[in-house]
């Protein structure tokens, strides 16, 4: 008898077929059941490996042994005339048919019942959490968080380079409309922590994580990257790059392209690429940006020096010019630079960035902020911010600037919509929640404002002003005692004095209100002229309030940009001087309504 014939006679082929069908069914059941008990893919892999290993012994046993009425016997010990192998073969055929029927039935049940149920439960859970269905796992691997890369350099001061590289990758990926990328502030909140993939993905509501490390020594750099699927903690892709700094932009582009390929993201155009410049200027730019991110006076002053060093090396570096403009705006808004001088420097830097790169979104956003805060030219602000949104509709910084303009135009619900979108994309960004709270506050939604301010405070316990802002929301919700309790916990003296002067007045404690207002004026006038004006307005001191407003107008006080929606001026809005004053600064209702600013909520 031929070898194949012998395989048939001994039922080896039937045993192999029955084993394969039964193993497939077991694997499908395991993949369905194990996740219900919170297991990852490891137990399922063990089942697969075990079944694969046992296949060979099962086939060998079928070849060596035969099933007889007395039990298993070696094949050569069985008389062929008494062999029941044909009957055993028929039983095996029936077993194979039954197992196949069960497998087909299970496949149909999983496809048309379990699968639909899983998708429904995922969507329902997402809706209960207030998330858009666009963020739900049903739509595939379309969301990602770029975690801060670990600095493995011997010089720990090189940490800014690892952070900067991570952020550049994040910015590249954020330019892809089909990919939802969590903003920097939220992603970088995990810096220095032991990452639990499941927790991070749940907190940030993403399907994938990109992590890595950077080792920089002189002109050489070693970058290791990993793309992780959050669902099962599996590595989708990993790569190590050992290059010189001259290749740093090529590495960034290669990583972005790999992420797009691995996540099977559908593109409308080419994968975005990095802005190229001298690597030395690039390193200075990353350090300058990191200094600015400290949000301290010394940090911004140092960032200006570093940006200028970068521009001495690469005067055509648009991103450095835009960063320089940002630092000048920050220092000027906090009265640390002369208003006129600071905004002139900022405008010149932003215009230089646009001359080098006419599509630089942040440069347009900076010009919009200058027009809004310094010039009072809301139409120019709208045009610049509209263009910035066209170029980069998902950038949280640009979205917040656009929302600020909408707030100042008293288009409050639109502003809130943008900020709610930004909060969903950047869920642990204290500033985003504080901006959202301000929108709620101006819209008269005090409870929501308080809740959002508390979220901001929990994310940034040392942030200045938040306790005072919570107090203001309580005050205008008719709860002056609760307002005072919050305000007295404020860390920043100026904001505390502003809040206390108003809260004591709301409680009818005139002497204490007078004392706090006097202290505020003695210590912080004229820099806080606008704030002093609204304290006076709230206290009903109309003449003094208008005097301070006129002083604020002469100083081009940035606070005047948000005067229209501010409830603090309610007591003087019936005064005949109110409307002419608003007209003089371009903030009268008719003037605001005439400003054309088209904002479409990003997809």
Q: Give the Cα separation of 256 and 264 in Å (integer).
A: 12
% of the chain exceeding 90 in pLDDT: 41
247 CB-contact burial (10 Å; exposed 0-12 / middle 13-18 / buried 19+): middle
Q: Give the Cα separation of 599 and 382 in Å (integer).
A: 9
Q: Give the Cα separation of 99 and 21 in Å (integer).
A: 7
Mean pLDDT value across residues 238-251:
85
Mean pLDDT value across residues 319-346:
88
The model's pLDDT over 44-57, given as tens digits with 9 standing for 90+, comes to 778 888 888 888 88
**Is 141 a residue whose pLDDT tops 60?**
no
b (16+ CB within 10 A) / e for 346-374: bbebbebbbebbeebbbbbbbbbbbbbbb
- pLDDT confidence of residue 327: 93
Mean pLDDT value across residues 368-389:
93
Highest mean pLDDT: which of 12-21, 52-61, 268-277, 367-376?
367-376
Mean pLDDT value across residues 399-411:
94
- pLDDT confidence of residue 75: 66
Q: Give the Cα separation of 565 and 524 in Å (integer).
A: 24
N-to-C CA span, the chain: 70
Q: For the domain covering 140-274, report its CATH number.
A: 3.40.50.10610
- pLDDT confidence of residue 330: 86
**Is 577 a residue whose pLDDT tops 50?**
yes
- pLDDT confidence of residue 76: 67
Mean pLDDT value across residues 144-150:
87
**Weakest-pLDDT range from 63-67, 125-129, 212-216, 500-504:** 125-129
pTM recorded for the entire structure: 0.65
Question: What are the sequence ranges of the domains in the chain?
Answer: 3-123, 140-274
**Is 241 a residue whose pLDDT tops 80?**
yes
**Are the beta carbons of 25 and 99 closer than 8 angstroms?**
yes
Q: How confident is the model at residue 79 (pLDDT cuts 50, 70, 90)?
A: low
Write out the DSSP string of 523-569.
HHTTTTHHHHHHHHHHTT-HHHHHHHHHHHHHTT-GGGGGTTT-GGG
């Amino acid at each position: 008898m031929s070898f194949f014939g012998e395989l048939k006679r001994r039922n080896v082929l039937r045993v192999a077929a029955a084993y394969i069908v039964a193993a497939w069914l077991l694997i499908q059941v395991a993949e369905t059941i194990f996740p219900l008990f919170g297991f990852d893919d490891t137990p399922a892999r063990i089942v697969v490996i075990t079944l694969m290993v046992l296949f060979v012994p099962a086939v060998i046993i079928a070849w060596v042994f035969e099933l007889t009425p007395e039990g298993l016997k070696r094949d050569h010990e069985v008389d062929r005339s008494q062999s029941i192998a044909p009957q055993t073969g028929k039983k095996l055929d029936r077993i194979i048919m039954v197992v196949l029927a069960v497998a087909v039935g299970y496949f149909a049940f999983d496809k048309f019942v379990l699968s639909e149920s899983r998708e429904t439960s995922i969507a329902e859970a997402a809706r209960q959490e207030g998330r858009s269905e666009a963020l739900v796992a049903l739509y595939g691997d379309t969301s990602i968080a770029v975690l801060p890369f670990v600095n493995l350099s011997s010089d720990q001061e090189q940490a800014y380079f690892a952070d900067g590289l991570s952020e550049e990758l994040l910015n590249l990926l954020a330019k892809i409309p089909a990919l939802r990328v969590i903003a920097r502030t939220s992603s970088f909140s995990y810096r220095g922590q032991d990452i639990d993939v499941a927790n991070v993905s749940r907190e940030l509501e993403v399907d994938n994580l990109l992590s890595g490390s950077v080792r920089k020594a002189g002109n050489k750099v070693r970058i290791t990257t990993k793309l992780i699927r959050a669902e099962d903690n599996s590595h989708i892709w990993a790569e190590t790059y050992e290059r010189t700094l001259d290749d740093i932009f090529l590495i960034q582009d290669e990583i972005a392209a790999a992420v797009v390929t691995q996540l099977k993201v559908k593109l409308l155009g080419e994968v975005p690429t990095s802005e190229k410049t001298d690597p030395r200027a690039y390193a200075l730019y990353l350090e300058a940006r990191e200094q600015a991110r400290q949000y301290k006076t010394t940090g911004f002053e140092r960032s200006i020096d570093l940006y200028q060093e970068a521009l001495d090396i690469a005067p055509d570096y648009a991103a450095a010019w835009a960063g320089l403009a940002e630092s000048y705006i920050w220092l000027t808004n906090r009265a640390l630079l002369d208003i006129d001088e600071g905004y002139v420097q900022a405008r010149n830097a932003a215009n230089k960035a646009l001359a080098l790169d006419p599509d630089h979104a942040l440069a347009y956003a900076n010009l919009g902020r200058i027009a809004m805060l310094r010039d009072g030219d809301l139409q120019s602000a709208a045009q610049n911010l509209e263009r910035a949104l066209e170029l980069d509709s998902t950038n949280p910084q640009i979205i917040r600037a656009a929302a600020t303009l909408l707030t100042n135009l008293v288009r409050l619900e639109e502003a809130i919509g943008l900020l709610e979108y930004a909060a969903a994309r950047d869920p642990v960004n204290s500033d985003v929640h504080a901006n959202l709270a301000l929108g709620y506050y101006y819209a008269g939604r005090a409870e929501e404002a308080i809740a959002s301010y508390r979220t901001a405070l929990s994310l940034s316990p040392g942030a200045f002003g938040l306790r005072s802002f919570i107090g203001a929301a309580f005050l205008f919700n008719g709860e002056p005692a609760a307002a005072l309790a919050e305000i007295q916990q404020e860390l920043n003296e100026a904001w505390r004095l502003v809040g206390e002067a108003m809260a004591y007045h709301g409680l009818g404690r005139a002497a204490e209100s007078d004392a706090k207002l006097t202290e505020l004026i003695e210590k912080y006038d004229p820099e806080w002229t606008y704030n002093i004006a609204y304290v006076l307005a709230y206290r009903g001191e109309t003449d003094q309030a208008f005097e301070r407003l006129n002083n604020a107008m002469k100083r081009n006080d940035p606070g005047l940009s948000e005067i229209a929606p501010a409830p603090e001026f309610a007591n003087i809005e019936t005064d005949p001087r109110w409307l002419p004053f608003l007209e003089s600064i371009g903030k009268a209702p008719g003037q605001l309504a005439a400003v054309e600013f088209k904002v479409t909520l990003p997809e």
